[in-house]
Each structure stands twice: as C-alpha cells, then as structure tokens.
C-alpha cells in the first residue's frame, strides 16, 4: 500500500506516548510539551492538507494542542491519544474553514446527493502526464471538505477504514462512500486542471 | 455489471480485495471496457500521488509555544481568586474612604501619598488601575497581568514584554520560538497595596514559590 511519508512515524509507538499522556493528564505542562513535539509534524500536516493555508493550519495546530490538554483528564483510553488528537484536528480544521468562509459548517459537512457522472468512454478525460505535488494539492483543495477529510486520512495519513470511522465517528459504509465520492471529485478536478494529454 | 458499479468496486479495491463473486464480474467487465481500464489506472496514479505529497513539517516549536500558553493560563487562573478577594477589600476601603479621611485618621496615609507626589484621588485612581487595568482601558488581566509583566520584563532580552494580553498566535510567537519560559514568581501582600499599608510604591517583586 502506498502512503509512506518521509519524516512521519505512522506506526503508533504507544508505550512512550502512554507515559507522557498519563503524566500530562496530571497537569504536567512540561511533559505535554514533549508530547506535542512528538505529534506536531503530523498534526500540522493534516491541518495543512485540510485547510490548504499555512497560517490557518498553524492556528489550528496550536488550538488543537491547547484543547487536547484541557480535555486530557477526560480521555479514558490514553492509548488512543493519537486517534483522539487527529479527531480534534480534523474537526477544528472544518470549523476553521467554516469560520473563514461564508458557508456554514453544516453546509461544509453536507454530502452531495448528486452522483458524479461516470466519464464516458473517451480516454481523453483520464489523467495522464505528470501529477505534480502542486496539481494534486490544488485539486485536493477543491474537493468538498467532508470528502477531503477521508481522502487525507486514508491516503496521506494512511489510516485504515476502521480508524477513520472511529476518528470521524461515522459508520464504515459511510467511510467507503465518502472515499469513493472524494476520489471521483479529485479525479474530476485534476482533469479540469488540465492534467490530460 | 455497469460502469458505475464497477468503478465503486475499483475504488474499494484500492483499500482491500474485492469479494470473490464481485471480483470476477469486475475483471470480466474490465477486460471488455477500455474506459474502466483507464479509470483503474487513473485511480491508482492519483491516490499514489496523494500518498507521496511532500510532507510539510511543523514551522514552529509548538511544544514550547503550547507550554508557554498553558503556563500563562495557569498564572491567570491562580491569581483570579486572590484578585477577587482583594477587589472586595478595595471596594470596602473605597466606600469607607471619605469618612476615614474626614475623620482625620487618614493622615498617615495622606502623608505617604504626599511623599509619593500623589493626591488622594490620584492615589485611589492609581490603585484601582493597578487592581483592574481593564476598568480604565488597560490590558484586562488585572493582578495577573502585573505578575506576568514582572515575568515578562525578566524574560530573555525582554522580548516577552512585547506580548499582547490575549492568546499568543503562532505568528506572534515565532520570533520567540527559541526562548524557554522561566518559572513565574509573584507575591500578593502588603507590598501589593503600597500606600494603603503605608509602604513605598513598589513593583510586584518575584518571590519564593515558582508556578509550574
């Protein structure tokens, strides 16, 4: 499965985390600072891919860690800290997008009912040529946030369906549906962006 | 099987194998449908490109920034109850002030005020400002702010004194990212009410117990 990303440890190294989380739950800010440093790259990257704005992503990252610290005493499964943190970041990213635009959070979360039309048999609407980071990031930015969320968690964070369902608090079937629609939108926007022969 | 159904299965196949009966139907369809073959190739390239998007590392030391912010909040919380008690005391003093001054018992305090070059009204205004800067357009942090200012002034290079009263944004924090917060020490005692206790006007001094 593709998805290896340099510089980010995707495998949950929970035991050192667990100690840090438990000490942080006692209100130890210095320990929490260590925990933040362990997760800051991953959290910032997720916020950046969700918001497509570096300043906004930095704000979301800071806010996510502050909220996490305040809510830590209520975290009953310290070993799930990583997923719990991603859930906070993911939700805050959507909030930030809603606050910045005139569109409400409900509208951002709304799933399009229309089924994207299947491209015809014309091979010209398929993606060819070089897929640059810029082109992919630009197309991803245009995908509806509710679908962008699952695309980022699945393909950039390389998380399995089950963990995505847990983070977003949605059924597995919904994860699959959103992934399909997100991929369709991404493909459509890449094609519109001229990634064709 | 129609193209629309096949493409849903192709999307799922990126995440795991398709169940046997469906898998055979999809493969049969793809053998005969060039469009769906290209679709599968496109999906694979596209998701591969997503997965290898350049990783953007955190631009700041969020660990230091968050620790700093949390400690500042803690100082503010810690001083809120004493400040409320002190505010109640001050309110009582202010209400009793005209009677006390007219009775002549305020002479000693008046002398202290005179020594400091303040009129009684100026002294009261200064004291009220010190207790609650927000009341006259100040920073809004009251006693906590005074304590924090002491800490700020003592910070490396005095840069922390440039901080605004509200939450520190990542951009504001950036120039200070290399700095480590120092323990905050403050006191609230007679020295905090200088002329009312007959002492000299003095800033809040760092004292014994560091706040974590």
**pLDDT at residue A48, as a whole number:** 93
Does one domain contain both A156 and A130?
Answer: yes
pLDDT single digits (tens) B65-115: 999 888 888 887 776 666 677 777 877 777 776 666 666 554 444 444 444
In a domain, A1, yes or no: no
In a domain, B56, yes or no: no
The mean pLDDT value for A133-140 works out to 87
The mean pLDDT value for A124-134 works out to 63
**pLDDT at residue B86, as a whole number:** 76
Cα torsion for B49, A85, A104, A176, to the nearest 10°?
50
Which residue out of A180, A182, A184 would a mutagenesis test of the B interface target, given it has the greatest number of B Cβ atoms within 10 Å? Answer: A180
In a domain, B149, yes or no: yes
Distance CA B41, CA B39 (A): 5
pLDDT of residue A12 exceeding 70, the answer is no
Domain boundary residue, one of A58, A80, A102: A102
Q: Which residues of A touch B70 (CB under 8 A)?
A: 29, 32, 66, 69
Does one domain contain both A117 and A88?
Answer: no
Cα torsion for A145, A151, A156, A160, to the nearest 10°?
130
What percent of chain B lies above the pLDDT cut of 70? Answer: 43
In a domain, A8, yes or no: no
Confidence at B168, pLDDT banded by 50, 70, 90: low
Q: Count up the domains in chain A and report the number.
A: 2
In a domain, A4, yes or no: no
Does one domain contain both A87 and A115?
Answer: no
Does one domain contain both B31 and B73?
Answer: no
In a domain, B46, yes or no: yes
In a domain, A9, yes or no: no
pLDDT of residue A109 exceeding 80, the answer is no
pLDDT of residue B180 exceeding 90, the answer is no
**pLDDT at residue A185, as a whole number:** 93
pLDDT of residue A10 exceeding 50, the answer is no
Does one domain contain both A183 and A130?
Answer: yes
Confidence at A36, pLDDT banded by 50, 70, 90: very high
Q: Mapping DSSP to helix (H, G, I), strand (E, B) and coil, where does residue A60 land?
A: helix
Ranges A44-53, A100-109, B51-60, B177-186, most confident: A44-53
B33 vs A124, residue with greater confidence: B33
Distance (Å) from the C-alpha of residue A12 to the closest C-alpha of chain B? 18
In a domain, A5, yes or no: no
pLDDT of residue A42 exceeding 90, the answer is yes
B82 vs A119, residue with greater confidence: B82
Greatest CA separation found in chain A?
61
Whether B131 and B86 have beta carbons less than 8 Å apart is answered as yes
Does one domain contain both B94 and B192?
Answer: yes
Beta-carbon separation of B54 and A123 below 8 A: no
Does one domain contain both B183 and B156?
Answer: yes
The set of residues, in sequence order, having a beta carbon less than 8 Å from that of B96 and lying 6+ positions away, is none
pLDDT single digits (tens) B2-23: 888 899 899 888 888 888 888 8
pLDDT single digits (tens) A146-191: 999 999 999 999 999 999 999 999 999 999 999 999 999 999 888 8
Does one domain contain both B96 and B134?
Answer: yes
**pLDDT at residue A151, as a whole number:** 95
Does one domain contain both B45 and B80?
Answer: no
The tokens for A103 are: 């569109």
Does one domain contain both A27 and A90?
Answer: yes
Distance CA B192, CA B99 (A): 24
**pLDDT at residue B95, as a whole number:** 75
Domain boundary residue, one of A43, A75, A102: A102
Question: End-to-end alpha-carbon separation of chain B, Å?
Answer: 66
Does one domain contain both B32 and B67?
Answer: no
Whether A152 and A50 have beta carbons less than 8 Å apart is answered as yes
**Domain coverage including residue B31:** 3-51
Does one domain contain both B141 and B72?
Answer: yes
pLDDT of residue A117 exceeding 50, the answer is no
**Domain coverage including residue A23:** 14-102
Confidence at A124, pLDDT banded by 50, 70, 90: very low
Whether B116 and B123 have beta carbons less than 8 Å apart is answered as yes
In a domain, A24, yes or no: yes
- Across the strands, what pairs with B211? B184
In a domain, B203, yes or no: no
Does one domain contain both B138 and B67?
Answer: yes
User: How high is the ipTM of this complex?
Assistant: 0.74
Does one domain contain both A18 and A98?
Answer: yes
B186 vs B27, residue with greater confidence: B27
What percent of chain B lies above the pLDDT cut of 90? Answer: 6
Q: Count up the domains in chain B and report the number.
A: 2
- Please state at what angle helix B34-51 crosses helix A172-192, rounded to 10 degrees: 100
Does one domain contain both A30 and A98?
Answer: yes
Beta-carbon separation of A37 and B63 below 8 A: yes
In a domain, A6, yes or no: no
If contacts are CB pairs under 8 Å, which of residues 35-94 in chain A contact chain B? Answer: 35-37, 40-41, 43-45, 48-49, 54-55, 58-59, 61-62, 65-66, 69
Does one domain contain both B114 and B191?
Answer: yes
Domain boundary residue, one of A69, A102, A135: A102
Does one domain contain both A45 and A76?
Answer: yes
The tokens for B5 are: 């159904």
The mean pLDDT value for A34-62 works out to 93
Does one domain contain both B28 and B89?
Answer: no
Q: Which residues of B touch A43 (CB under 8 A)?
A: 58, 62
In a domain, A197, yes or no: no
Does one domain contain both B32 and B79?
Answer: no
pLDDT of residue B134 exceeding 50, the answer is no
Does one domain contain both B20 and B123?
Answer: no
Whether A69 and A20 have beta carbons less than 8 Å apart is answered as no
The set of residues, in sequence order, having a beta carbon less than 8 Å from that of A137 and lying 6+ positions away, is A49, A52, B53
Q: Does A187 touch chain B (CB under 8 A)?
A: yes
- Please state at what angle helix B107-115 crosses helix B120-131, rounded to 10 degrees: 80
In a domain, B202, yes or no: no
Does one domain contain both A121 and A181?
Answer: yes
**pLDDT at residue A171, as a whole number:** 95
**pLDDT at residue A40, as a whole number:** 94
């Amino acid at each position: 499965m593709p998805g290896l990303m340099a510089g980010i440890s995707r495998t949950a190294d929970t035991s050192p985390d667990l100690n840090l989380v438990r000490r942080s739950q006692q209100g130890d800010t210095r320990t929490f600072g260590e925990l933040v440093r362990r997760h800051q790259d991953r959290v910032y990257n997720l916020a950046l891919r969700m918001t497509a704005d570096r300043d906004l992503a930095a704000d979301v990252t800071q806010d996510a860690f502050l909220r996490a610290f305040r809510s830590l005493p209520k975290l009953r499964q310290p070993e799930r800290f990583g997923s719990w943190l991603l859930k906070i970041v993911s939700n805050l990213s959507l909030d930030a997008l809603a606050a910045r635009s005139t569109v409400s959070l409900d509208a951002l979360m709304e799933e399009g009912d229309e089924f994207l039309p299947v491209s015809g048999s014309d091979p010209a609407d398929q993606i060819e040529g070089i897929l640059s980071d810029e082109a992919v990031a630009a197309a991803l930015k245009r995908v509806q946030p509710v679908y962008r969320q699952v695309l980022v968690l699945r393909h950039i964070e390389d998380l399995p369906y089950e963990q995505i369902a847990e983070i977003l608090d949605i059924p597995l079937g919904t994860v699959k549906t959103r992934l399909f629609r997100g991929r369709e939108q991404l493909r459509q926007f890449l094609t519109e962006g001229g990634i064709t022969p | 099987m129609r193209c629309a159904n096949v493409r849903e299965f192709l999307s799922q196949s990126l995440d795991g194998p398709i169940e046997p009966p469906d898998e055979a139907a999809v493969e049969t369809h793809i053998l005969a449908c060039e469009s769906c073959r290209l679709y599968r190739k496109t999906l694979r390239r596209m998701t591969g490109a997503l997965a290898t998007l350049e990783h953007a590392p955190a631009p700041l030391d969020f660990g230091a920034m968050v620790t700093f912010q949390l400690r500042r909040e803690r100082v503010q919380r810690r001083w809120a109850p004493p400040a409320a008690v002190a505010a109640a005391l001050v309110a009582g003093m202010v209400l009793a002030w005209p009677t006390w001054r007219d009775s002549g018992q305020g002479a000693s305090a008046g002398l202290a005020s005179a020594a400091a070059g303040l009129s009684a009204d100026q002294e009261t205004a200064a004291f009220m400002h010190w207790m609650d800067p927000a009341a006259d357009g100040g920073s809004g942090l009251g006693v906590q702010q005074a304590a924090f200012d002491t800490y700020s002034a003592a910070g490396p290079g005095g840069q922390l004194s440039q901080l605004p009263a509200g939450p520190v944004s990542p951009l504001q924090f950036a120039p200070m990212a290399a700095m480590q917060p120092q323990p905050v020490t403050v006191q609230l005692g007679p020295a905090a009410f200088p002329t009312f206790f007959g002492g000299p006007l003095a800033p809040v001094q760092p004292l014994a117990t560091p706040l974590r």
